[in-house]
Amino acid sequence: MKYEILTGPSYALAEVELSEGEKIVTEPGAMAWMDDNIEVETKMKGGLWAGIKRKVAGESFFQNTYVCNSGRGKIGLAPGIAGDVVAIDIDGEILTERGAYMASAGNIEVSASWEGFQGMFSEGLVALKARGNGTLFFNAYGDIQEIDVKGGYAVDNGYVVAWEPTLNYSVSTAGRGLKNFLFGDQLITRFAGHGKLWVQSRSTHNLVSFLHPFRRVKPRNNG
């Protein structure tokens, strides 16, 4: 398998070239185009329970598997939001935030990972865990930066994309006290240890906050 990340970082997509018999697993809707010698199969990869766990983690219940039937074929994969795409080779585990997983090739199993109460007030209680050997594709809103953490690092929750399991983390507010924690103060994820961390240059939460005042509101009928 060969791949190239095109038109990034603002509107990135992955163009993947498969040899005969090679396949790639994607989230539904990720395929933008493909050669006609590539076929697709949609199923609950890993069975019903694995599908349920992916759904809880903010991903799709079903996954698509694209297989090259003859010769070589290309497939274009694009995320649902404007931003960057990163491909990394893994031999072990990577944890990603909800919605960041796009595709994987090789022997990689994707499932939900319970992150305990330290994740309760972040993007969600459950992260997505990619385990195995192969190539993992994930996406984000804005540019993706890779950080080599050596000791400690603090990130606003809305900017975390993925991290290695060698990093421990905790969630706290930028301010102090229970009032700050419960009523909208900035939430910070503090990573500790040694490992790689991927962050995005924009926050979807900030985008929603920016657009909220411009939303169309249906007037109430009090009559």
pLDDT in tens, 25-73: 999 899 999 999 999 998 765 555 555 555 554 555 578 999 999 999 9
Q: Are 30 and 64 contacting, i.e. CB atoms less than 8 angstroms apart?
A: yes
Q: Which amino acid is residue 5, in one-letter code?
A: I
The rounded distance, in Å, linking the Cα atoms of 99 and 58 is 6
Q: Residue 37: its pLDDT value, please? A: 97
Q: Tell me the pLDDT tens digit for each residue of 73-88.
A: 999 999 988 999 999 9
Report residue 188: phi and psi, to 5°: -120, 130
Give the pTM: 0.80
Q: In order of start, what are the domains of the chain with their CATH numbers? A: 2-213 (3.60.160.10)
